[in-house]
Chain A
């Protein structure tokens, strides 16, 4: 069974930083792209970032470009999202998802990031 477990969310002040992790199991991790998708409270889904299977290519949405960095450690079956210069509008549940063929399946349970003073 494929499992994705996010961690690292929490309350952070505007301008602060946070690092999210997503531990994967149940599939050959180093063969698949991975993504982060977020959902602000009561809102829809927004793709945030993606990374290819070997970590050589990363992609970012315009709203986070230059502030967020996605990476992966295939020896640990884990992807990361380093978030800097956080803003109130970054408040959301952050999901990681396996991105075979660039659809998102499955998703983790999500981790909540709240940016507030």
Chain B
């Protein structure tokens, strides 16, 4: 089973700042990695798939990069609605499909 480790666990930033979230895989997942955003009381939403492709309707301030075992989600300039929990997920080696433990992006 591929283990995904996200860092940091919590990130405290202010609106307008840039955010960098990390996801590390226990073995290579090529570029078969996605990022999701989850707000309180809501279902997760797909942001990025195949490491760097934005899902439909996702603003351009969200970008993903990486391959192999190291991946990054970057939010260029934080909007108030971006403060949420973010999860990475791999589809390289399944089953199981696995998620990281999440990074909480909170307002400083």
Interface set of A (CB-CB < 8 Å, partner B): 35, 44-47, 50, 59-62, 95, 101-110
Contacts and interface: CB of A to CB of B under 8 A. Distances in A.
B10 to A, nearest CB: 13
Interface of B: 34, 36, 38, 43-46, 49, 55, 87, 89, 91, 94-102
B34 A106 contact: no
Contacts of B43: 95, 106-110
Contacts of A109: 43
Contacts, number: 58
Pairs of residues from A and B, 4 with the lowest C-beta to C-beta distance, nearest first: A105-B46, A107-B43, A102-B91, A59-B95
B46 A104 contact: yes
A68 B99 CA distance: 20
Contact of B46 (A61, A95, A103): A103
Contacts of A105: 45-46, 49, 55
B9 to A, nearest CB: 11
Given A107-B43, A107-B44, A109-B43, A102 B94 contact: yes
Nearest to B100: A44
B97 A35 contact: yes
Contacts of A61: 95-96
A105 B44 CA distance: 9
